[in-house]
Structure 1
Amino acid sequence: MAGKKVLIVYAHQEPKSFNGSLKDVAVEELRKQGCSVTVSDLYAMQFEPRATRNDIVGHVHNPEQFNYIVETREAYKRGGLSSDVVEEQKKVQEADLLIFQFPLYWFSMPAIMKGWMDRVLVQGFAYGFPEFYDSGLLKNKLALFSFTTGSPRETYTKGNTNGDIRYLLWPLQHGTMHFCGVKVLAPHMCFAPESVSEGQRKEMLTAWAQRLKTLWKEEPINCSSEWYFK
């Protein structure tokens, strides 16, 4: 899909990691398609994950009692957010597709990526009231969560050790992306890449590249509780 713009938000400390390889495959394949691809390599950028007063440039709305949601909403209105947040918001605004690439940490994303969500997706930019869920301010965008796990696939099934993998996706896909209006594609999961052979890891990378070839033809998942908890 020539002309499409993609933002990959990537969180791994090691460029030679399997997550790094998944990111590289996505960049290569999407650029072959004529897409414009931007990567926010959060660790390499030393992205600040903490949501603090430093995210507001100039005066605060209420100096007596700091409320991060209110202050960032007001700062966004007047163009008073810190430059690193503004830069990421510009990337999001320009993107047709957001890909989040990361290893699963404690049934969630790494803290640095959660911090990206906290600081970048502020009220007024990503959502408002009543502009949320299907009416969210990012409603013309797609998102895809691509991640690796430490445990094998069978442990992430209903009734097994870790429970259905979809349970873990509820706060990421529904509570964050769908809340902001983003349509969510089915996740791409590579189970326990460190516990399989080199040949199997290559097969995982090939499968990701193959999926990316037809990604723009995919229909978003039905963002309802039934999809996650059926």
Structure 2
Amino acid sequence: MTIAHPTRPGSALWVSAHARRGSFNERLFQEGVDALSSRYDVATTDLYAQGFDPVLDDRDLGDLAARPGNIAQLAGESYAAGQLPADVRAEQAKLAAAELLVLQFPLWWYGPPAILKGWFDRVLTAGFAYGDQDPDLGVPRRYGDGGLLGRRALVVVTAGEDAASIGPRGISGDLESLLFPVTHGVLWYVGIDVLDLHVVHDADALGADGVQREVARLRERLRTLDAEPVRRFRRLRDGDYRGTRALRADLLPGRTDVGIHEVDERPGA
């Protein structure tokens, strides 16, 4: 069984991954949910507050725990048998109902906190988020297709560095590339369209005025979110990777950056 479309139009799921109560991230979480609630029925997941266990292990396999094999495949079979743990089933139900997913987290060691990675590991199971074949093309329904097709996602990330140090030539690497495993390798992989990142730079150094400015900027972004275009990553089914999982040699020859996997329709591009 796969979930082809959101089950409740006008619904959203906001997933927050920050460990501290009273933090700037918690303020953004509260303000963001409040702003979005004017147009969406918003469900929330506060991973630390819920005590979500990020470790994928035998409890996710139900009666299959003793069987040898690939743990991700076995978790998919556990999903199909209705044997996933209650905490995972609850998260899948919220995600299945939502047409908009917001992922909010601080940038820790140039990626999301481990608890959010564990949410991906345990919640995005085979059978629920991916795993079947395109009946017409005979290719997996992945990268622009899949079990969560029909949804959009906004990634809200706070970073302790400025825009230069995590920019295209920054010493810490380009943030778009650092978060490519999330935007493309997780969200786009299971069919979720991705909006431009919402980044708060120098988050550790914001004073009271800065906090108010960033709260207002997030609320304004959410107010106009429905009119935003999604990023145009290349779809697996369209033939740009025909015969292999590498981009065809005639497309953007000589380039090896992650930007080659996004279609650029700007004049002259």
Q: Please classify the TM superposition score into its range, dividing by the shorter chain length.
A: over 0.9
What is the match of residue 221 of structure 2?
Answer: 211
Q: 1:165 to 1:136 in 2, by over 3 A?
A: same
Secondary structure at the aligned position of 1:22 is classed as helix
Question: How far apart are residue 56 of structure 1 and its match?
Answer: 2.4
Q: Which residue of 2 aligns with 1:52?
A: 57
* Structure 1 counterpart SS, 2:37: helix
- CA-CA distance at 1:218 after TM superposition: 0.7
1:61-72 alignment runs, 5 A limit: 63-72=66-75
2:38 alignment counterpart: 32
Correspondence for 1:149 among 131, 134, 159: 159
RMSD between aligned alpha carbons?
1.9
Aligned counterpart, 1:124: 127
Q: Give per-residue Cα distances to partners, 1:32-62, cap 9 Å, x unaligned.
A: 23x11111011111001000001122x217x
1:101 is the counterpart of 2:111: no
Kept in 2, the 8 Å contact 1:69–1:123? The answer is yes
Distance in 1 separating the partners of 2:146 and 2:180:
17
Tell me, yes or no, if the aligned pair for 1:9 and 1:39 is still in contact at 8 Å: yes
Change beyond 3 A, Cα 1:93–1:64: closer
CA distance in 1, matches of 2:57, 2:48: 19
Structure 1, gaps ≥5 residues long: none
Residues 82-112 of structure 1, C-alpha deviation per residue, up to 9 Å, x if partnerless? 1111110000000011101110111111011
* Rg larger for: 2
Instruction: Look up the SS of the partner of 2:105 in the other structure.
Output: strand
Asked if structure 2 preserves the Cα contact closer than 8 Å seen for 1:148 and 1:193, the reply is: yes
Report the secondary structure of 1:216's partner residue.
helix
CA contact (8 A) 2:12 2:41 kept: yes
TM-aligned CA deviation for residue 64 of structure 1: 4.6
Q: 2:25 aligns with which of 19, 30, 34?
A: 19
- Give the equivalent residue in structure 2 for 1:226: 259
1:228 deviation in Å? 7.3
C-alpha distance in 2, partners of 1:64/1:85?
21
Task: Classify the secondary structure of the residue corresponding to 1:171.
Answer: helix
Taking structure 1 as the reference length, the TM-score comes to 0.93
Gap change, CA 1:157 and 1:70, over 3 Å in 2: same
More helix per residue: 1 or 2? 1
Q: How many residues align?
A: 226
CA distance in 2, matches of 1:64, 1:124: 19
User: SS at 1:91's partner residue?
Assistant: helix
Q: Percent identity?
A: 33
- Match for 1:89 among 92, 95, 117? 92
Using the TM superposition, give the Cα deviation of residue 81 of structure 1 relative to its aligned residue in structure 2, in angstroms.
0.8
Letter in 1 for 2:72: I
Residue-by-residue CA offset, 1:101-151 (whole Å, 9 max, x unaligned): 110111111011100000000111001141211221101111111010111
Code of the residue aligned with 1:53 in structure 2: it is D
- Residue 12 of structure 1, CA deviation: 1.0
1:67 CA displacement: 2.4
Q: Which residue of 1 aligns with 2:171?
A: 161
| 8 Å contact from structure 2 (residues 144, 233) kept in 1 | no
Equivalent residue in structure 2 for 1:171, among 157, 175, 181: 181
